[in-house]
Amino acid sequence: MMQSVILARRPKGNPVEADFAIEVTPLPEVEKGYFLTRNDFISLDAGFRNWMNEDSGDEVLPAMALNEPVMGLVLAEVIESKHVEYSPGDKLMARFAWQTHSLSDGTDFIARLPNELEFNPSAYMGVLGDTGMSAYFGMTDICKPTSADCVLISGAGGAVGSIAGQIAKLSGARVVGIVGSATKADWICSALGYDAAVQRSGEAPLADTIREACPNGVDVFFDNVGGHTLEAAISNMNHRGRMALCGAISGYGVTPHGPNNLFDLITKELSVQGFMTHFRHDRYEEARDQLSHWLREGIIRSPEYRLDGIETVGRAFAELFAGENFGKTIVAV
């Protein structure tokens, strides 16, 4: 039998566990041109919340349909195939649904993995998966930090931020993280090597707290949050600073705030670039080789928050928006 997490209702604001339900169906038959996978791990990524809205389809994904399996990223192994390019035993990172099994014709977003995995399989959902790709491409292609820079990262204790900060430290830059709790502030400094941390929920305005942690201003900002956090960062940016926009979790499913200081982008001559790893699929091997080297040598860590059982997926996804995850959230199916 196959278990699927379906979209039981459209979330209003941040998702809650009741927005999802488990559906049990027979395994699909594999016809010519298709293959069937067993999905071992499900990656939970806040950005997929965007496509749960009714009119949210775009060139990356169509809007998710009610009472249909929720789309996401999985680590899968082919168990049956009638497709000429896929064989039993092939390991894949793919954009399949939140299911215990997936049937595919190969036209989905798929990245092949070595059949003999060097690292813990869950790492291919985290630092060696789309999470690590986001941190790698955003930091190396757009931010390009140097030892003279002060780098600020929002969502610093989350999936992407926890990797991005470690990559930034390799340049010799001063790296400051924005987090939602004192516990996370301590963790990113002690476990991930951040030089300092500021809390969004502190008594002082966030812009002032950033200014205290970055007294010489911010040269590079890697944003995973958007809204008020982006506004506070812009106010602290130095002339001709660089900004990589990776995510905007504060605005997923709700009316986002601002920022209301966009004129600063002009007066400070800031470089601002949004990006998605989806459009860098041809460079995944390059990124995975470099990230694998850093992981193998112990230069970076792969922090993860792991749950077991597909029945935990809805709760775990909701917890992302409460900021309860330390590093990458993964469900072992």
User: How confident is residue 217, by pLDDT bands cut at 50, 70 and 90?
Assistant: very high
Separation CA 238–CA 229 (nearest Å): 16
Tens digit of each residue's pLDDT (9 = 90 or more) over 271-306: 999 999 888 989 989 999 999 999 999 999 999 999
CB 196 within 8 A of CB 221: no
pLDDT of residue 115: 85
Domain spans, the chain: 2-126+302-332, 130-278
Separation CA 20–CA 6 (nearest Å): 6
For residue 151, what are its two tokens? 């780098």
For the chain, where are the alpha helices, taking DSSP H only?
Answer: 130-137, 159-169, 182-192, 206-213, 227-236, 263-267, 284-296, 313-321
Q: Please name the fold of domain 130-278.
A: Rossmann fold (3.40.50)
Separation CA 222–CA 254 (nearest Å): 22
Residue with tokens 């597909």: 310
Mean pLDDT of 39-63: 88
Separation CA 156–CA 177 (nearest Å): 5
For residue 46, count other CB atoms closer than 10 A to its CB.
24
Question: Which class is 2-126+302-332 in CATH?
Answer: alpha beta
Query: Which residues are 179's β-sheet partners?
Result: 199
For residue 49, what are its two tokens? 């919340």
What's the pTM? 0.89
Tens digit of each residue's pLDDT (9 = 90 or more) over 230-265: 999 999 999 999 999 999 888 776 666 779 999 999
Mean pLDDT of 42-55: 90
